[in-house]
Structure 1
Amino acid sequence: MSTTQPSGQATSEQRHAELLQRVGGLLLDAAPADFRRIDVLVRLTVPVQDLALTVYLPDGSTPEVAPPDGLLAAFTELRQVVNKPGRGTWFSARCVVNAPARIDITYNLDHDPRFVPDVPASVFARDLEVFPRDEAYTPDWLRDRLVEASSEEQNA
């Protein structure tokens, strides 16, 4: 038996593909025409966002390129699309565009995203309220941060 989506409602896989196309398009539009590689590292939680964009030219130089408008919003929506009930979503993602237009993205669902500077433990507690994880999918570093957040609350 097959199921169909109501007209106008994309599946999460379709939306994921659309968002990757959007990210790729935004990055290609922002980069110089002669780029070799675009590297984006995104660290996201509900209350804290960090995005680092590096563009590499053929001579190895890395000109200053501002993240395009809409890029962070696309990554924020990607977090929502990738979210799986009980499993949660990613804390960081690396997106690489190799010339002329090959895009690869990897998601970090399990490891500390290592914000610089570090963020309060309450940031992760807040994130888990929106993107809950079952105990089996809660890594040790995150459990430690949740204990720390509980301590912060009690001492406040």
Structure 2
Amino acid sequence: MALTSQQQEELLDEIERALRGGLPEGARGVFTWSSVGDGGSQAGFAVVDGGGKPIAHRHPEGLADLCWQLKKGMNRPEVGTWFTVRCEVDESGSFRADFDYDEEPSLRAIPEHYAKEMEWFPRDAAHTPDWLSAVLERVPNVYMGIVAEPGDQYEDEIGPHLGEVATAFRRAGWEVRRGHLGELDLSVEWGTLETLSSYGHIRFAGKIDPDRWTVLVDLMSQHGWNSGGELYEGGTVTAEFHRPDEGDAPSAR
């Protein structure tokens, strides 16, 4: 439900009171809060004394809930809502709140979080920044996974490990690079995938041409890996596969 102007002012008054109540005498504080979809939020509180010297100071509890109520209530059709609010308060009685609808917040949000943001707070093309359009283009439509298991074909008799997966994709014509934290960035003309691995489990997420789904299934199936995955369109599973039982063909509907 959209908040009226008066309701918005009442929430801002609550935020101001909370900030001012926790501010040391003679100090000035700048509180920032950002959120993106279901990717959580991030808050910061920079406080300086009367001479401009930084003071270590925690922001008061409960501000995140107030900011979330304000963000939801300020949503407007076709425009959406803001990503970041910046509140400045000092002992003189001055209070100012600025709302940023356009700049990318400094959260470690992934494309799926931005997709959820657009689902909750839709924007038309005129109110969608270029950087946001680019992020949304990277929202995965395919998710896969491999669970390690014993096998004579693996280097240390259990696998596959990340290096063995890299070799298999490279031999299939994919470009393989080391990405964030040593994970794999896999690319081919019709798709890109990234890995996220933990002990005994390698996850894949990326975007492919749906018409090449069976090609990817064949690659994931031909090595005997304990693997499976799903292809999505608009949040709906349109195809999936899992490792077949002995003698069966891969399931890829």
**Structure-1-length-normalised TM-score:** 0.84
Q: What per-residue deviation string (whole Å, max 9, x for no partner) do you get for residues 39-78 of structure 1? A: 0121112322000001111132222221211111111111
CA distance in 2, matches of 1:153, 1:16: 38
1:11 and 1:42 map into 2 onto residues whose CA distance is 19
Quote the residue 2:217 is aligned against. none
* Aligned with 2:119 (options 113, 118, 129): 129
> Superposition RMSD on alpha carbons, in Å?
1.7
Q: How many residues align?
A: 142
| C-alpha distance in 2 between matches for 1:42 and 1:134 | 24
Please name the residue that 1:4 is paired with: none
Deviation at 1:84, TM superposition (A): 0.5
Which position in structure 2 is the counterpart of 1:105?
97
Matched, 1:85 2:77: yes
More helix, by proportion: 1
C-alpha separation in 1, matches of 2:98 and 2:52: 23
* Residue identity in the other structure for 1:58: G
1:62 corresponds to which of 47, 54, 66: 54
Deviation at 1:34, TM superposition (A): 2.3
Does 2:11 correspond to 1:23?
no
Which structure ranks higher in relative contact order (CA pairs < 8 Å, sequence separation ≥ 6)? 1
3-state SS, counterpart of residue 137 of structure 2: helix
Gaps of 5+ in 2: 144-204, 206-253
- Give the C-alpha shift of residue 130 in structure 1: 0.7
Runs of 4+ in 1 over 4 A off after TM superposition: none
The alpha-carbon deviation at position 11 of structure 1 amounts to 5.3
Give distance in 1, aligned partners of 2:26 and 2:86. Answer: 21
For structure 1, the residue ranges without an aligned partner over 5 or more in a row are 1-9
Cα distance, 1:139 vs structure 2: 1.1
Give, as a single letter, the amino acid of the residue that structure 2 aligns with 1:41: T
Distance 2:37 2:7 in 1: 20
Indicate whether 1:51 and 2:23 are aligned: no
